[in-house]
């Protein structure tokens, strides 16, 4: 699993492609009357903004650590495992990466509240205009997504704080 994670971290395009395919499959399960081509094109177009944000973030992280995608993937892997680098250069790169990610997460609760309001409004519109199958499907999808996003965000922020503390002590 670690090698798959590392490979996905190195190849951003593959993450986007898998997300587009997964989103297409979920939408087709919820609304099977749509054609798969229409759904795939719509999801791909809507995902372009997210892909641009991911590419910009990755470029900023590469610049911050002074390396390549492989360097960022290696540091990310160490961060996930909680390994503090022994090499002073790697430790400095890890500190820069952690500081950048902590800075990026400073408004996470406001963003989560906005996302909850946005998805709640979207769900209300779907519930008012769609049938029971779509209402149940989107309700489960949105609820599961918000719970997972909250759990994953708290978990990653805790990792970042622990690594920042470990780097200060080292």
Q: What angle do CA 3, 108, 154 make, to 5 degrees?
A: 50
User: Can you state the angle between helices 12-30 and 36-65, rounded to 10 degrees?
Assistant: 150
Question: What pLDDT score does 133 carry?
Answer: 87
- Residues 76-91 pLDDT 10s: 889 989 989 988 889 9
Question: Domain limits of the chain?
Answer: 2-169
Distance CA 115, CA 137 (A): 18
The predicted model gives 9-13 an average pLDDT of: 80
- 30 vs 3, residue with greater confidence: 30
Instruction: Read off the tokens for 38.
Output: 């229409």
- Residues 117-144 pLDDT 10s: 999 999 999 999 988 888 998 999 999 9
Distance CA 41, CA 22 (A): 13
- 122 vs 4, residue with greater confidence: 122
How does residue 1 score in pLDDT terms, banded at 50, 70 and 90? low
Could you give the residue ranges of the DSSP H alpha helices within 68-129? 69-81, 88-104, 108-129
Distance CA 167, CA 170 (A): 5
Buried b (16+ CB within 10 A) or exposed e, 122-159: ebeebeeeeeeeebebbeebbeeeeeeeeeeeeeeeeb
């Amino acid at each position: 699993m670690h090698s798959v994670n590392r490979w996905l971290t190195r190849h951003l395009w593959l993450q986007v492609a898998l997300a587009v395919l997964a989103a297409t499959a979920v939408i087709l399960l919820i609304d099977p009357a749509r054609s798969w081509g229409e759904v795939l094109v719509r999801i791909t177009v809507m995902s372009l903004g997210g892909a641009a944000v991911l590419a910009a973030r990755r470029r900023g992280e590469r610049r911050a650590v002074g390396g390549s995608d492989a360097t960022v993937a290696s540091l990310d892997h160490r961060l996930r495992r909680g390994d503090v680098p022994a090499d002073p250069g790697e430790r400095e790169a890890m500190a820069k990466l952690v500081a950048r990610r902590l800075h990026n997460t400073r408004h996470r609760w406001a963003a989560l509240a906005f996302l909850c309001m946005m998805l709640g409004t979207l769900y209300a519109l779907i519930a008012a205009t769609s049938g029971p199958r779509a209402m149940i499907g989107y309700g489960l999808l949105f609820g599961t997504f918000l719970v997972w996003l909250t759990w994953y965000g708290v978990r990653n922020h805790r990792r970042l704080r622990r690594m920042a503390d470990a780097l200060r002590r080292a």
